[in-house]
A and B are shown apart, each in its own frame.
Chain A
Amino acid sequence: MGNPLLTFWARHRQREDEERRARRARLLAAAASANRASETIFLILRRMRAPLIVLIAIFGISVLGLTLIPGQDAEGRPWDMGFFDAIYVMSYTATTIGFGEIPYPFTYNQRMWVTISIYLTVVGWAYAIGSLLGLLQDRAFRSALALQRFTRKVARLSEPFVLIAGYGRAGELLGHSMDALGRRVVVLDRNDERIDGLELESYHGDVPGLAADARDPGHLGVAGLDHPCCEAVVALTDDDEANLAVVMTTALLRPDVPVIARATTRVMADRMRVFGSPSVVNPFDLFGDHVQLALRAPASYQLLTWLESGPGAALPRRASPPRGGRWVVCGYGRLGRELTGDLRAEGIDVTVIDPSPHDDEDDVVVAGGYEPAVLAAVGLEEAVGFVAGTDNDITNLSLVETARRTNPTLFVAARQNRPSSAPLFAAMELDALLVPTEEVAHEVYAQLSTPLLWRFLRAMPALGDDWAADLVDRLTDLCGQHLQALWKVRLTDREAPALTPWLAAGEARLRDLMRNPEDRDECLHAVPLLLLRGEDATLAPDPDFVLAPGDELLLAGWPAARRALEVTLVVDAVREYVVTGRRVPSSWLWRKLSGAPPASEGTRPTAPTPS
């Protein structure tokens, strides 16, 4: 196809086809989920068929009997009961209300028939009511109702939300961090106990949850995949294949939504990357990278873990793994493999102990029970580091204790698999602890919270250990040992209307912006972490940095500092005081009276929206 116009046309057609296909698939998914939601009413109708027919038949027979059986009136003349009387009598008799014999006392013949009808109709009612109550208790019915309620809740969401597929430990941590940032989440998990538990957890926002398999595109559709407000999909189930299915579904139905997925093997990560460009998080790979970072730059590692832990996290201890010397790694599974590779890449000598032999590794000691004798045999006395990285918590704990007895000066790291073992590992006071689920949750949080934080964390290790140590000191000096809040500020006309003339003058120093509006000699309890101008990022800009319109700032500090800074951004008089130290009247009348020049009246937009 030489003609460029034809090429363009063909490409256009192809894109149109793709769009159409995506649209159709989205519609199909939505239709499937809508069908499932409307099933409730059909379920009731179908189950109530037999009881209702029995009830109608019994009623019909009893009423017919009453009208056919001859009776007599008060004077003993023959009298036939009409349909109205018969229906009236049967209605109050069947429902056990019992008004008596109306309009005339019954004959023995009639009483015999009424006796039979009483038993028949009571059985009929009991059957119908019992069926209805049974239906309300029914599992299928309840899940249909829950699905309907969930669908309604998700459809009503009008703010951006994150769809979390797989609400295990990692999903829970991520959900709480996102919630603390004031973001909405929708949760999908196979285990209905986890979903029931949602109601007991202390979320600020309402978190819609559904117990369903995330592998089903219909379920993802119900959970808001086709919702215009869905801002990201996170696949955190403990099953790699299910995560792959989520990545696949999202890539095919909503190619515009970013996906973050957990994968525990490299093969699975590669399979996921085939679909669009998902961000794949591998906890073991991540831990290896972190250990590498901790070996090179302990302070950078400390800063990274602190910022990743989410709002309110305490400053982690600065661990300094020994570089010179030999390490012993127990367990050569997914973690052992990654970690050994990363340690060797750092030029560290590693001895591996594992129950089964591995062909790809030369320095593996094959030992089943991790007996003390084996630990002694690999020369633990001369080693400097020890990693208990099996997938069994009890084994890991006993390994750590044995290793400490053999060599008390060891740097000890261990892997915690189950959340219930957390107190035991905490009591061990380890030098480094890997909790795969937490590792994943922190990484996903860093990617989702703000794009600026993610950028900061990726660029930060390159600046070296001393720089990071310096920044940690500044953060702890100003904001204390706990990470309070992380927020973003855009210096645009819309979000910082008061700054516009000051920024345009070209002499806007960051130092002046970070002053306290109450007393400008004090600085705000906040540290600017990153400044983004266009595509250029400046990490931890220094106080003399000159700001320009359109800059984006990532700040960490006290929530009070955030409020104070917002005032500076929006109110002209406060900005004037903060920058120059002059108190200027803020109301129109006083400004006229004092004759101060209205500096920026024309440029101020009508509705400033601080974020």
Chain B
Amino acid sequence: MNLEKVVFGFFVLLAATLNFGFFIGDIDRAELHNPFELFAAVVVNLIATVLKFGDRTQIGAIHLATSLVASLQLVGAALLYGYAEYVSSAGMTEGWTASVVSLSGGALMANIVSVVLLVIETVSFHRG
């Protein structure tokens, strides 16, 4: 067992699950989407991105690309959320909520690709 692989798999999976947790629920109801979960998803996604730095293989490059996409989408969602809460006078309306959640849904797609890549890498790894 390789500790590096454990940490890597842990963060990639955690990023996907947190993202999913935030995304699930009616798209326009703000009370079903916890901001703490979004925050955790952003932080874990950033860590997962940094973990993928410096891998020169082809699959490593795709890994990094998916993570960059997910981080970009989640940071976008967080910015929208902040704008709705602090700047916009209307607050978290249904439309704003739907925008934030749909952005995180896009990030979820990238995270799923990332997990699929992880599984492919594991399956194609032959012992001995």
Contact = CB atoms under 8 A, between A and B. Distances in A.
B4 to A, nearest CB: 11
B54 A46 contact: yes
A48 B78 CA distance: 25
Interface in B8-60: 35-36, 39-40, 43, 46-47, 50-51, 53-54, 56
B85 interface: yes
Contact of B53 (A46, A67, A84): A46
B125 interface: no
Interface in A50-68: 52-53, 56-57, 59-60, 63-64, 67
B39 A42 contact: no
A57 B56 CA distance: 25
A590 interface: no
Contact of A84 (B43, B47, B86): B86
A56 B36 contact: no
Interface residues of A, number: 19
**What secondary structure prevails in chain B residues at the interface with A?**
helix
B85 A45 contact: no
Nearest to B54: A46
A45 B39 contact: no
Given A82-B85, A82-B86, A83-B82, A49 B36 contact: no
Interface string A82-103: 1110000000000000000000
Contacts of A53: 47, 50-51
Contacts of A56: 43, 46-47, 50
Contacts of B36: 64, 67
A47 B39 CA distance: 26
Contacts of B54: 42-43, 45-47, 49
Contacts of A46: 53-54
Interface in B46-96: 46-47, 50-51, 53-54, 56, 78, 81-82, 85-86
Interface string A13-57: 000000000000000000000000000001101111100110011
Nearest to A82: B85
B43 A60 contact: yes
B84 to A, nearest CB: 10
A241 to B, nearest CB: 33
A45 B53 contact: yes
Contacts of A60: 39-40, 43
Nearest to B79: A84
Given A64-B36, A82-B86, A84-B82, A57 B53 contact: no
Contacts of B43: 56-57, 59-60
A56 B40 CA distance: 11
Nearest to B82: A84
A42 B57 CA distance: 11
Interface in A528-580: none
A49 B85 contact: no
Given A42-B56, A84-B82, A49 B50 contact: yes
B67 to A, nearest CB: 13
Contacts of A45: 53-54
B82 A49 contact: no
A296 to B, nearest CB: 64
A574 B19 CA distance: 86
Contacts of A48: 50, 53
B95 to A, nearest CB: 20
Interface in A121-162: none
B56 A49 contact: no
Given A83-B82, A84-B86, A52 B39 contact: no
Contact of B39 (A43, A49, A57, A83): A83
9 contacts: A42-B56, A46-B54, A47-B54, A48-B50, A48-B53, A52-B53, A53-B47, A60-B39, A82-B86
- Top 4 A-B pairs, shortest CB-CB distance: A46-B54, A60-B43, A45-B53, A45-B54
Interface of A: 42-43, 45-49, 52-53, 56-57, 59-60, 63-64, 67, 82-84
Given A49-B50, A83-B39, 18 more contacts: A48-B50, A49-B53, A49-B54, A57-B47, A59-B43, A60-B39, A60-B40, A63-B39, A64-B39, A64-B40, A67-B39, A83-B35, A83-B78, A83-B81, A83-B82, A84-B82, A84-B85, A84-B86
